[in-house]
Structure 1
Amino acid sequence: MQFKHSGRYTKCSQLLLLLLFFINCSVHAQDSLKNLPEYSLPLTGEKLVIAHCMTNIIRYKDHPYEDSGNPDFYDKTGNITAPLGGLTQVKPMANDLMANATLDESVEFEMRAAIRSGIDGFQFYYVLGLPDWDNIIKAYFRVAEAKHLNFKFTVCISHPNGGTEALKVAEYARRINGIMDEVGHNNPHWLRTPDGRLVVYQWLGDGLADIPADKQGLPDQFYIARAYKRLADDVHERFACVYTINTMINKQKLDDILDYFPAVWIWTLPYSNDYLGNMVADECKARNRNFTGSVFSDFYTSKLLKKGTWDMYHTANEAADAGISNVERKYIITGLSYNFRKLFEFGIKQNVPIINVITWNDYPEGHHLAPEINHNDGFSILLNYYKSVWKDLPSPYSDRDVAVVFFKKYKHNITPKPYNIPVKSFQREVIPTVWEDSIEVVTLLKAKGRLNVNGQYKEVAAGLVSTKFKMSDGPVNVSVSRNDIVTVHFTTPEGITSHPYRADRLTYSFSSEFNRFYKDLYPGFTPEYSHEYNPGFVKSDQNN
């Protein structure tokens, strides 16, 4: 067939060629994001513990904790949430100390407490629409530099939903550029890969991208990676994105992720024999990607939620108005210290470059390590021990015996009265609930010793050993002896009860290191104690 050489046909041919050019360019652009060589490069130059930090959950003058973590609503009387038995079931120790503190003093406390817990840096929960949080992040950089604190920072792009990709990328870019313009791109406190990429976390971060109805045969992850590439370009950086896995996925979905991202982390999936991390870690090794380990201590929300949803009553007034009949709390069965220990042991076995702590300070969800009167220092002691094993360093407790006790305040089948707010386990039960109907003591002994818990004796070996005892009402008395010499002795400030007045499934821990751990933590800091079910508590009983 011959074409007439008219101007009309010439223009049509030119348009067709131009269209084919743009299609080819589009395909080339798509292909250019898949399996980049940099995805196989190391994520860190050294092993690091990085904690997810809730940016705004911090106490300083004129900035209280959010209501679901505010100690003003802890007690069952004397506040507007009394009809609920008290909204919050956590009590951060920093509240009184930092009530009149400056922002800089507050972030210094957070970093010093985190460092003592074995944490090397924060990835900040980073959401759209709250630019004032950037001032908190800038303060962390400012104080870390001024006080010569060896601490790393990055952002965790979190559920960026609503609006178009272009608008969301523009807002994040504007704000991140504002931080970097002040603290500097070359600031040594940024968390970077050895080749200079900025490590950026995601938590449910897929929403940054516009994913078209016609995906042209490409997986969602291409469009997500393209959105993060656009954000990286707008802040004049190269990103190493750590993709979040927040639910069970199959191998095909994982392969799609690893085609376009260099690293992954798993959110709060508890450990079991069929832990998803096995498949994810194996595939990361096969694909030469970075699998990063995750640990979480607990999961029991002080948040009050609309029944059957994750819709939160954000203020104490809203929660009180809703009433007990319209609310519930969420829960993951963690088996006292079991889940935390097994996840850390899994990370050690996989020789991961980063251990992610979920979380530093999310008191409302109850998986915090920051100083608080229920969790205390117990999980931090375990973290410091496991960190030494992971990094092949001497144990920080090699010169002494240590004991850490974990328990719930009441057995799982007891009905609290009169404030029985429903507690809903929202994941497949992989750890039996009855495992939490015990007193667990984790010992770190120099040599074999005799463990005594409330008059029950058991012989325990050297090293880390977890030992279970029957629950009984009252405080828990723990001692370790060897050759008739007592090396450890303490009584918990909190007690166990058969008659709880409110639902409360938060794990309580206490250790023989309590006084040593909190001594000289920060000028003016003194620890507080939970003793709801130990009315006879006397501070001098703590002989650790």
Structure 2
Amino acid sequence: MRLWHITLPVALLGSFVSGCGDGELAASEVDGASRADAVLRSPGGGEPAGDSGRSEASGSPCYPFEQPGPAALRGSEKKAFAWYFPPYPVSIDNRDPSGDWYARWLSPDGGGGEYADTGGQLRDRPLFQRPPRPESLWRQLDFEVEIRQAIAMGLDGFILEMSHRKVHSDDRFNQVGKMLDAARAVDPGFRILLGPGFPKESNATPDELAETLLSYTGHPSVFRLPDGRVPIATFYPERPASSGGKPLSWWKALRSKMRARGVEIAWFPVFLSRTSRDRIPDLDAWYDEIAGYSIFDGKFVSQAASNATESENARARGLTWVARTGFQDIRVRKGDYVELKHWEPSNSRTLRTFFDHAIRGDAPWINVVTWNDYGETQTAPSQARGYAVADLIAYYTTWFKTGAAPEITRDALYYFHRKQHTNAPYDRTRQTAGAFKIAAGPAAENNVELLAFLTEPGRLIITQGSDTRVMDVTKSGMTSFIAPIVPGTTPAFELQRDGEVIVSLTSDTRIEREVVYQDMTYYAGGSLECERPE
């Protein structure tokens, strides 16, 4: 977890933090709240998403398949969540999007020029943007938008990262109650799984965390297991004691304190990585204490097979394996130092392959990492990707929950590509912090992907200037078609049958020959148009 160096209003001062995934820790930890510690419409514009009794297919034109209704999806024993990171809600300051905090972080001139050497703090922001709300409960109303989006994607709830303190110095971590109320207002079936941090002081007791949890566990929107236990998902509890980690006895004491107050908890540690998990000296004792677990690290294709192997290992121990998936991890700056690093997701392949192995391994739960950490790993509908990633998640959550790949009932095309070759020249007089680098895993790839969902065989075409690539697809279903990017062009895509254009789509993102600032983001878009939740 890094500490960000950003000038904020008094109401937001404090541990303005973002997540970590590579095991490095900030020089200073703040309050234990960071991850290291920290009109209702259905997608098709029909019945409100909050009608959890609706079990028929949604008939949504948003997707290339018929999505079952919320009740049918929730009827599955399998659960799908997304990790919610409080520092990046729809709006931070209830200002016009043209001059809000996202606008500052996306600009090299934001923060009084603080990000001039990197081209901005972020490269993306939430897709849903709105003028200032007059309502005092504007934060809850914004949460309601995100909850409707998540329901449309087939998710059962959010894993909400929260502080171990009742009142945190960063006000964005003080909105747990509003998130819970938002879930109840939109759809009582959408639940919030509590993801508390823990104190880092060596002499800290579990008392404060217990009191904080008890202030929320009675809310009807808190996720509970069928036996009534309240699961808690704690990030990186296996960290070294020198970095604030706690022994197993500390967590046992927390459970005892909660039990004494009438609340049974089920511990679901979210280990930073398989490596850090396996270094726990008394790991078997941990397994005896926990109800299930997950791994946060999962950034490239070759890591995906662990979703199946961990599912088997957990099942043999009588534990719930929470598989994970994500789209891309890209980081610009955290705190007083520059990161400028990324991991290669191979267009949409990493997200798809992690889901594939979760399904093959019969994982009972899955966690999308993350919903909205725009400093690293967002998958929510966003400015750079529209609904493309969200639609792909909707397809896979349906498959995950029903056990069968959804039948394709509408032809649809999606694209995923960067706006530059990773070695494209950039202005070294402006981006003076250095170049983006691959942190680990495979080397950077430079391809355009056309992900097609076909009702029947057809011809796929990718055109970039004078470069035309063709793939003849002989069966219905999902097909990935890859072509090398051609700088100086705007990719265009077609589905043809018998020489007739059935679907055509042009990317919203031109691939530049050279750039002022590097941007390793995979941009995305799709061909289906429909009314979306808001």
Range into which the TM-score falls when normalised by the shorter chain? 0.7 to 0.9
Q: Which has the larger radius of gyration?
A: 1
Tell which has more relative contact order, 1 or 2 (C-alpha 8 A, sep 6+): 2
C-alpha deviations, 1:103-161, integer Å up to 9, x for none?
A: 22111111111222332201111124544556522122223323335311121123642
Change in Cα spacing, 1:206 to 1:77, as seen in structure 2 (3 Å) is closer
CA shift at 1:415, angstroms?
3.6
Change in Cα spacing, 1:275 to 1:264, as seen in structure 2 (3 Å) is same
| Structure 2 partner of 1:49 | 80
CA shift at 1:248, angstroms?
3.3
Q: Does 1:83 align with 2:116?
A: yes
- Output aligned runs, 1:57-456, within 5 Å: 57-60=88-91, 62=93, 70-76=102-108, 80-81=112-113, 83-84=116-117, 85-97=119-131, 102-129=138-165, 130-131=167-168, 132-133=171-172, 135-158=174-197, 160-162=199-201, 164-166=203-205, 169-180=206-217, 184-185=218-219, 187=220, 189-206=221-238, 222-233=248-259, 236-249=262-275, 253=280, 255-270=284-299, 271-272=301-302, 275-302=305-332, 304-305=333-334, 312-313=335-336, 327-365=338-376, 367-392=377-402, 398-418=408-428, 419-420=430-431, 421=433, 422-427=435-440, 429=441, 431-433=442-444, 436-454=445-463, 455-456=468-469
Secondary structure of 1:352's counterpart equals: coil
1:294 and 1:405 mapped to 2: Cα distance? 23
2:501 and 2:472 mapped to 1: Cα distance? 14
CA shift at 1:451, angstroms?
0.6
| Structure 2 partner of 1:477 | 492
Q: Which amino acid is the alignment partner of residue 481 of structure 1? A: Q
CA shift at 1:396, angstroms?
6.3
| Structure 1 partner of 2:15 | none
Change in Cα spacing, 1:496 to 1:234, as seen in structure 2 (3 Å) is farther
Q: Which runs of 5+ in 1 are unaligned?
A: 1-43, 214-219, 306-311, 314-325, 523-544
1:125 and 1:115 mapped to 2: Cα distance? 19
Secondary structure of 1:403's counterpart equals: strand
| Structure 2 partner of 1:457 | 470
1:211 and 1:469 mapped to 2: Cα distance? 45
2:426 and 2:140 mapped to 1: Cα distance? 42
- Output aligned runs, 1:502-521, within 5 Å: 502-513=517-528, 515-516=529-530, 519-521=531-533
| Structure 2 partner of 1:4 | none
Secondary structure of 2:507's counterpart equals: strand
1:332 and 1:79 mapped to 2: Cα distance? 27
C-alpha deviations, 1:232-291, integer Å up to 9, x for none?
A: 336531111112221233768454432221211111223317844454333212222111
1:251 and 1:347 mapped to 2: Cα distance? 21
CA shift at 1:192, angstroms?
1.4
2:478 and 2:238 mapped to 1: Cα distance? 40
1:234 and 1:424 mapped to 2: Cα distance? 50
Q: Report the count of equivalent residues.
A: 438
Change in Cα spacing, 1:255 to 1:506, as seen in structure 2 (3 Å) is farther
Secondary structure of 1:70's counterpart equals: helix
1:76 and 1:87 mapped to 2: Cα distance? 8
| Structure 2 partner of 1:40 | none
- Aligned-CA RMSD value: 3.2
CA shift at 1:226, angstroms?
1.3
1:295 and 1:353 mapped to 2: Cα distance? 14
Change in Cα spacing, 1:510 to 1:160, as seen in structure 2 (3 Å) is farther
Q: Which moved more, 1:393-402 or 1:326-335?
A: 393-402
TM-score, length of structure 1 as denominator length: 0.73
Change in Cα spacing, 1:50 to 1:97, as seen in structure 2 (3 Å) is farther
Q: Which moved more, 1:197-206 or 1:140-149?
A: 140-149
C-alpha deviations, 1:492-517, integer Å up to 9, x for none?
A: 1111112021121111111113x32x
Contact 1:172 1:231 in 2 (8 A): no
- Output aligned runs, 1:519-538, within 5 Å: 519-522=531-534
Contact 1:329 1:423 in 2 (8 A): yes
Secondary structure of 1:505's counterpart equals: coil
Q: Which amino acid is the alignment partner of residue 401 of structure 2? A: K
1:100 and 1:301 mapped to 2: Cα distance? 34
2:183 and 2:131 mapped to 1: Cα distance? 20
Secondary structure of 1:390's counterpart equals: helix
1:231 and 1:53 mapped to 2: Cα distance? 27
Q: Which amino acid is the alignment partner of residue 519 of structure 2? A: D
2:340 and 2:260 mapped to 1: Cα distance? 40
2:411 and 2:185 mapped to 1: Cα distance? 37
Q: Which amino acid is the alignment partner of residue 329 of structure 1? A: L
CA shift at 1:356, angstroms?
0.2
Q: Which amino acid is the alignment partner of residue 500 of structure 1? A: V
CA shift at 1:330, angstroms?
3.0
CA shift at 1:68, angstroms?
12
2:356 and 2:250 mapped to 1: Cα distance? 32
2:140 and 2:235 mapped to 1: Cα distance? 27
Change in Cα spacing, 1:286 to 1:452, as seen in structure 2 (3 Å) is same
2:421 and 2:244 mapped to 1: Cα distance? 50
Change in Cα spacing, 1:150 to 1:94, as seen in structure 2 (3 Å) is same
Q: Does 1:497 align with 2:512?
A: yes
CA shift at 1:76, angstroms?
4.2
TM-score, length of structure 2 as denominator length: 0.74
Secondary structure of 1:453's counterpart equals: strand
Change in Cα spacing, 1:205 to 1:75, as seen in structure 2 (3 Å) is same
Change in Cα spacing, 1:257 to 1:481, as seen in structure 2 (3 Å) is farther
1:211 and 1:478 mapped to 2: Cα distance? 50
Q: Does 1:488 align with 2:503?
A: yes
- Normalized per residue, which structure has more helix? 1
| Structure 2 partner of 1:38 | none
2:249 and 2:244 mapped to 1: Cα distance? 9
Q: Which amino acid is the alignment partner of residue 83 of structure 2? A: H
Secondary structure of 1:293's counterpart equals: strand
Q: Which amino acid is the alignment partner of residue 237 of structure 1? A: V
After superposing on structure 2, the runs of 4+ consecutive aligned residues of structure 1 that deviate more than 6 Å are 207-213, 393-397
